[in-house]
Structure 1
């Protein structure tokens, strides 16, 4: 299976965090075109309302998906379900339940309250679910959930700010998955800020899927502020083995 190269376009960053951070549906769609041209194979996005705030409202998600699919037809679109987008777990469940337009996949952070319920709802709606695992406890939740087979892939995203600690956490998460017989579940590894590029390199070395974008870092590997998502993807693709 070919390595997935996911462009995470905006995340939970505040508007203005970077001059080119895409917020509106138009900006996100334009950025999607640019990152796909640079080599990204998938798009991950946090939908935003008219004020630039994260939102899981059906009337926000549907138009965004429509624009993205028009901009990058055939490219898989992943949407967040993080509580940063909707802090109330019960309301989040209701919003996802009311989605009329469905993404190609959704990420669910397993350490968050109500995560398993949302994951089960998405699976029931035939939306592939990526399990977000920030630490060993989240990996154990996946194993104990009783629905591990419903997840399409695993997103290993250690939050330790230092590279050594993040790599150690990722290794411990991997060990939990292996002991549970989940080693074959497709896996992505990524960091954030100072760990973004070192963990991308570690993922490449391990043959795991990768992601990069303004959600994870505002800087190039040399520490300079990046020009934007397309520039980040271009740099990431240059670090991959020839495809």
Structure 2
């Protein structure tokens, strides 16, 4: 499975084609799915362009995307810094009327177990976000761990050797803990393409898009999300 991560918290200083509005997300969703992605990960924005968990902002983004790519699974971030931030962000999640297919929940965050339980209780799938060996060790102790949709291993290390060591350590903890969920492995900026190749070599899912990086495998700046997805599809064929 190839997931397109369309925007994250990126600004247009990072890339001029980062989508903000519901219409822009829907347009990029259509182009990215046409380019070969099979799922989507988005960060809805409010009118001021900031990330939002507000029910209206979430509904606008999801309805616009689903109108353009009906039947495509769409996931949202729940990260700690999205306003209103911290545990307070659980309240808007409780108020969602239009639900995503899944959310990503970072195990590094204090209330990860609470947000996982909240999402599952609402019938929303959960990507358990693992950044480190300690995150993996926390996940395997959670009662809801095996109810998650998948494990999302995110390698933030910019030194590639350190990134590979982190990934191998995380995978080892999951195996020892008998967590047999599907794994999505991806990197960030310098580690994007090395981790994408590693995911393909291991038969894992992966993700790609402007949330994680703005370069093609050649090092050239991508034209946008669809350009990155096309490059990933071509690279995946080698595996």
Q: TM-score, normalised by structure 1?
A: 0.95
Segments of 4+ in structure 1 off by > 6 A? none
What's the counterpart of residue 182 of structure 2? 186
Could you tell me how far 1:84 is from its partner in structure 2?
2.8
Between the aligned partners of 2:231 and 2:220, the Cα distance in structure 1 is 13
Deviation per CA, 1:72-109: give whole Å up to 9, x if none: 00110011101232363221111111111100111000
| SS of residue paired to 1:144 | coil
**Does the alignment pair 1:43 with 2:40?**
yes
The answer on whether the counterparts of 1:10 and 1:21 sit within 8 Å (CA) in structure 2 is yes
Query: RMSD between aligned alpha carbons?
Result: 1.2
Structure-to-structure mapping, 1:163-174, within 5 angstroms: 163-174=160-171
Partner of 1:90: 87
Number of positions where the alignment pairs a residue of Structure 1 with one of Structure 2: 239
Is the 2:160–2:194 contact (alpha carbons within 8 Å) kept by the matching residues of 1? yes
Deviating more after overlay: 86-95 vs 200-209: 86-95
Contact 1:46 1:85 in 2 (8 A): no
- Alpha-carbon distance in 1 for matches of 2:36, 2:150: 21
Task: Report the equivalent of 1:222.
Answer: 218
Map of 1:17-28 to 2, 5 A cutoff?
A: 17-28=14-25
Question: Equivalences for 1:1-243 in 2 at 5 Å?
Answer: 4-86=1-83, 88-182=85-179, 184-241=180-237
Runs (5+) with no aligned partner, structure 1 = none
> How far does residue 59 in structure 1 lie from its aligned partner after superposition?
1.0
Q: Tell me the distance in 1 between the aligned counterparts of 2:86 and 2:147.
A: 20
Judge conservation of contact 1:104–1:127 (CA < 8 Å) in 2.
yes
Would you say the 8 A contact 1:12–1:84 is kept in 2?
no
Contact in 1 for aligned 2:155/2:191 (Cα 8 Å): no
Q: Could you tell which deviates more after superposition, 146-155 or 198-207?
A: 146-155
**1:65/1:156 Cα in 2 relative to 1: closer, same or farther (>3 Å)?**
same
Deviation per CA, 1:100-135: give whole Å up to 9, x if none: 110011100010121110110000111110000000
Structure 2 residue runs without a partner (length 5+): none
Contact 2:6 2:41 in 1 (8 A): yes
